[in-house]
Structure 1
């Protein structure tokens, strides 16, 4: 039940009354099939009857549309918009690239529900850049060269995302969602500490990727290549819109780990985090024999990360913000 209270005319009470917005289940038959939908209704606080408010009509239509698409596994309006955004392509050229009629995407974005067949094509293009590349090549002659080039370049860049594990992608996406600004250097350190806190709390890694002991601290090479063009600037990458609203791909425990990292290590910039990693045993051991200025791609073993962070968990308590913040302050004073 919503706590939101407003006033409008109640036909039962024949006067203006306070009402409360509530969720109510309704059944509707669509295409010879009965569906149960949950919609928002206004209930009069005085008599308990529903009040027919015109402003709820559009809201109810949207609620039913979203739930119907979920029932039938039809792509959502938001995902169709993401498809256009990540491939930097307009409605008409996207329609042609996917093998549809020229105004098909326009109709869908105006509210028409696509068939399951067309929905599956759009969903596959959204999550499989290799498939989108194939469709672009197949329909190249139908699309203006500028639109084709932009979409193909976007597909090639999107492919780079899938050189790391899905778990790594989800963690990166969640870090972007939680933080206003993240530079490549800061991202590398937050991923490293996510791995470390995962070992401290679960005794197992968050993701399978190996990191290396580079000059500026632990680095995941695949992630470096993904974002190297941003250099020291905050990452503003339209490719990650693909993961917006999909944080449920991480378990509650995994999100808790990332939240702990964001609320502690995430309060510092990349250079401060680099300074802390330089004082930690895993990075130091991996760089044995290397001077501070020398390049190095030696692997920081998962076992050394696990051992270090499990030890620090016993000393500080890495399952709490208080414990991690105490560790950070200790390291910064060293």
Structure 2
């Protein structure tokens, strides 16, 4: 439904503009990117419910991020992972039966409760222990469904179908398929940018692997070992039999944007880009330019740097990665 403009005294169309805003929440200053709706006829500021809802969510997300609190999407992921309802999950965690429902509806969890939810997302054993400890509080079907989900997740992980290697292999296969030519050096940097912007935009890393701050930029050691025999030549692999069952549509859209905006550059150019970014530079502190290092590039550093990039460039979706890629290319080559 189109809004009413008091200045034009008519129902009008509107355009959305992004602005950087600040808000104090519980004594903490929060910076976030908001939207404003303006009348296309006179330019007046309008109230549009969907824009208002968008801004509330942005404030909510920015505060959660600043406080390190779990997101609604991550809570939903836990529920789906463990095939459990909101009420049973609350009881298994030792909380009031409506607690998880409140959090899904937008209430802010305490840091302690947030940490508990994050722990069950990261560690199947933690969830299994809590399930056994509190199984008397839930129905038999809720217990058995959750128990079976945990066992299935463990089985898949032990077989390599869930977790680091299989997921990163899916990402690599997708990148190889989408790029006309890709050298091992370029692949390493595309993996790095895929990981970084996945967290910045989707609030979740694509895979669990850590990269190291080598002389030539971020490197995933296992992937280096796998493709090192190609040297500076493009990787050639048969891709017909590959599938991408572990990649969601959202993740594929992200990878498409990475290919479009970074895959157009050579591995050497991508290396130079990573050399002026904080995550690689901070991990290389104390090392000379050509000194080998296996120092891990901290995921927390990646989070902070690329969250700042997202805010600086007002990124709303994966298409907005283009502005950053063009800007950093200019900084390194003009």
Of the three residues 24, 32, 39, the one matched with 1:29 is 24
* Deviation (angstroms), 1:93: 1.0
1:169 equivalenced with 2:167 (yes/no): yes
Equivalent pair of 1:97/1:143 in contact (CA under 8 Å)? yes
Alignment partner, residue 290 of structure 1: none
Alignment partner, residue 84 of structure 1: 79
Work out the number of aligned pairs and report it: 209
Q: Deviations over 1:90-133 (max 9, x none)?
A: 11111111222221111112221111211111122122212111
Alignment partner, residue 58 of structure 1: 53
- Find the aligned partners of 1:29 and 1:134 in 2 and give their Cα distance: 39
Q: Deviations over 1:158-203 (max 9, x none)?
A: 123444461432444x59xxxxxxxxxxxxxx69x969x9996217
- Find the aligned partners of 2:84 and 2:150 in 1 and give their Cα distance: 11
Equivalent pair of 1:92/1:103 in contact (CA under 8 Å)? yes
- Find the aligned partners of 1:65 and 1:58 in 2 and give their Cα distance: 11
Equivalent pair of 1:25/1:36 in contact (CA under 8 Å)? yes
Normalising by structure 2, we get a TM-score of 0.51
- Find the aligned partners of 1:105 and 1:85 in 2 and give their Cα distance: 13
Equivalent pair of 1:10/1:16 in contact (CA under 8 Å)? yes
* Deviation (angstroms), 1:31: 0.5
- Find the aligned partners of 2:133 and 2:43 in 1 and give their Cα distance: 59
- Find the aligned partners of 2:12 and 2:181 in 1 and give their Cα distance: 56
* Deviation (angstroms), 1:81: 1.3
RMSD of aligned Cα (Å) = 4.0
Alignment partner, residue 72 of structure 1: 67
- Find the aligned partners of 2:180 and 2:92 in 1 and give their Cα distance: 42
Instruction: Classify 1:118/1:18 alpha carbon distance in 2 versus 1 (closer, same or farther; 3 Å).
Output: same
Equivalent pair of 2:30/2:62 in contact (CA under 8 Å)? no
Of the three residues 146, 149, 158, the one matched with 1:151 is 146
5+ residue gaps, structure 1: 1-5, 176-189, 211-217, 219-233, 258-334
Instruction: Classify 1:245/1:18 alpha carbon distance in 2 versus 1 (closer, same or farther; 3 Å).
Output: closer
Determine helix, strand or coil for the equivalent of 1:111: coil
Equivalent pair of 1:198/1:206 in contact (CA under 8 Å)? no
Determine helix, strand or coil for the equivalent of 1:47: coil
Instruction: Classify 1:198/1:134 alpha carbon distance in 2 versus 1 (closer, same or farther; 3 Å).
Output: farther
- Find the aligned partners of 1:251 and 1:7 in 2 and give their Cα distance: 32
5+ residue gaps, structure 2: 188-221, 228-237, 264-334
Alignment partner, residue 183 of structure 2: 201
Equivalent pair of 1:10/1:17 in contact (CA under 8 Å)? yes
Determine helix, strand or coil for the equivalent of 1:89: coil
Alignment partner, residue 129 of structure 1: 124
Instruction: Classify 1:250/1:72 alpha carbon distance in 2 versus 1 (closer, same or farther; 3 Å).
Output: farther
Determine helix, strand or coil for the equivalent of 2:152: helix
Instruction: Classify 1:244/1:129 alpha carbon distance in 2 versus 1 (closer, same or farther; 3 Å).
Output: farther
* Deviation (angstroms), 1:34: 1.8
Q: Deviations over 1:203-260 (max 9, x none)?
A: 78648789xxxxxxx9xxxxxxxxxxxxxxx998xxx69x78567799947x989xxx
- Find the aligned partners of 2:79 and 2:24 in 1 and give their Cα distance: 32
Normalising by structure 1, we get a TM-score of 0.51
Alignment partner, residue 101 of structure 2: 106
* Deviation (angstroms), 1:73: 2.0
Instruction: Classify 1:51/1:250 alpha carbon distance in 2 versus 1 (closer, same or farther; 3 Å).
Output: closer
Alignment partner, residue 113 of structure 2: 118
Alignment partner, residue 41 of structure 1: 36
Determine helix, strand or coil for the equivalent of 2:183: helix
Question: Which one has a bigger Cα radius of gyration?
Answer: 1
Alignment partner, residue 292 of structure 1: none
Determine helix, strand or coil for the equivalent of 1:159: helix
